[in-house]
Amino acid sequence: MAFGKALAVAAIVAVTLVVLLRTEHDYATIKSFSLRKGDIPQLGLGTWLSDRDEVAHAVEYALDNGYDHIDAALIYKNEDQTGKGIKASGIDRSKIWVTSKLWNSDHRQDEAEAAIQKSIADLGVGYLDLYLMHWPVAFVPGEGTRLDEGTSVVDTWRTMEDLVRKNYTRHIGVSNFARADVQAVLNVCEVCPYAHEFETHPYLQQQNFVDWHREIGVKVIAYSPLANTNPTYRDKKGSLVGPIFKDPFWTELAESKNATVAQVVLAWGVQRGTVVIPKSESEKHIDENRGALEVEFSKEEMEAIAKRDKKVRMNDPGKSWGIKLFADLDDPSGFDGDNAEL
């Protein structure tokens, strides 16, 4: 009898221990992400073309002055410096949102895992908040831009789902996808896209495409939100339209709001529900761009802005890669015009 009682007690102790240990383990898994706040912040700092010698300071300055979102990518070749800026800011990791991107030559499983590990290590963040498939295009690893016909977008998505399961990143998403590419992922996803980062601004509004993302529950991150201000666009498609900062419609709108053109352009992006990620290395511009969050438009003003769409795409490397991008969207890749580099 006494032996039976002892056995019962031992069994209860053992079960309790297992439950406790299990709970401890689950908590440890969840804990790293549970400190995080929810959704992606509406304003972030872009880092494409940020000079390696300038970007650490820009990131530190932005984080110390109200930004809580950094948009990075391995191909920008400055994630280590971006990481220095994050560290120097002293801001708790759990208080900032960090996005990085999987480059085209890293779509295969081994390459993808090594790539995300490198981005996390260079950025010094422990995990990412969002990891994007940079383009719906795979290159054969180590062979420049030779297309990898054997790795589909769906194959890469499966690989990226595993990166979430392994806790490298909280969310995954896509970038530069046509509607059919997004749909192909939606048809099969077990971990579904959190966001789609693509070019959209007053001169390439793509309002239907933006609205469609709202319907399917995928957030839109608007890149090149200042239209043709990125200097690499000036000699390419950006020159088809004058600089947005000198566009009388926008200068007058800015004046009427007692704001700058950058502020009203970014404010429009925010008010229509997109996340905007202007790049800047300048303290003055970083402060100015944050001011966009103070500007609001009436319904009539939003309707007037909608009429200023020019449907000009600034960033399209399709020609140099020999692939037609942005099918069914405004200004898809053509093979007779000029295209940007990245």
Ligand X SMILES: NC(=O)c1ccc[n+]([C@@H]2O[C@H](COP(=O)([O-])OP(=O)(O)OC[C@H]3O[C@@H](n4cnc5c(N)ncnc54)[C@H](OP(=O)(O)O)[C@@H]3O)[C@@H](O)[C@H]2O)c1
Minimum Å gap between C-beta 277 and ligand X is 5
Interface map 234-273 toward ligand X (x if CB under 6 A): ----------------------------x-----------
Site for ligand X in 305-334 (CB under 6 A): 315
Site for ligand X in 81-120 (CB under 6 A): none
d(CA 138, CA 256): 47
CA 74 to chain centre: 12
3 state DSSP class of 202: coil
Residue 278 binding ligand X, by CB under 6 A: yes
Q: Which of 184, 223, 180 has the alpha carbon at shortest distance from 325? A: 180
- Which residue bears the tokens 């998505």? 157
Identity of the residue, 31 or 234, whose beta carbon is nearer to ligand X in the bound complex: 234
Q: What is the CA radius of gyration of the chain?
A: 23
Identity of the residue, 16 or 225, whose beta carbon is nearer to ligand X in the bound complex: 225
In DSSP notation, 78-117 reads: -HHHHHHHHHHHT--GGG-EEEEEE-GGG-SHHHHHHHHH
Minimum Å gap between C-beta 91 and ligand X is 19
The only residue of 60, 71, 106, 330 in contact with ligand X, by rule CB under 6 A: 71
Minimum Å gap between C-beta 17 and ligand X is 48
Residue 281 binding ligand X, by CB under 6 A: yes
The only residue of 40, 42, 43, 47 in contact with ligand X, by rule CB under 6 A: 47
Q: At what angle do helices 79-89 and 55-64 cross, to 10 degrees?
A: 30
Residue 38 binding ligand X, by CB under 6 A: no
The only residue of 102, 163, 226, 270 in contact with ligand X, by rule CB under 6 A: 226
Residue 129 binding ligand X, by CB under 6 A: no
Q: Which of 277, 106, 129, 113 has the alpha carbon at shortest distance from 198? A: 277
Residue 288 binding ligand X, by CB under 6 A: yes
CA torsion 233→236→238→239, rounded to 10°? 130
The only residue of 78, 82, 206, 230 in contact with ligand X, by rule CB under 6 A: 230
- Which residue bears the tokens 């996340």? 275
Site for ligand X in 176-195 (CB under 6 A): 176
> Are 148 and 107 spatial neighbours (Cβ–Cβ below 8 Å)?
yes
Residue of minimal CB distance from ligand X?
46
Residue 279 binding ligand X, by CB under 6 A: yes
d(CA 247, CA 249): 6
Identity of the residue, 32 or 324, whose beta carbon is nearer to ligand X in the bound complex: 324
Residue 289 binding ligand X, by CB under 6 A: yes
Residues with catalytic function: 76
Q: In what order do the strands lie in the sheet with 219-223?
A: 45-46, 69-71, 97-102, 128-133, 169-175, 195-199, 219-223, 275-276
The contact set with ligand X (CB under 6 A) reads 46-49, 71, 134, 175-176, 197, 223-226, 229-231, 262, 277-282, 285, 288-289, 315
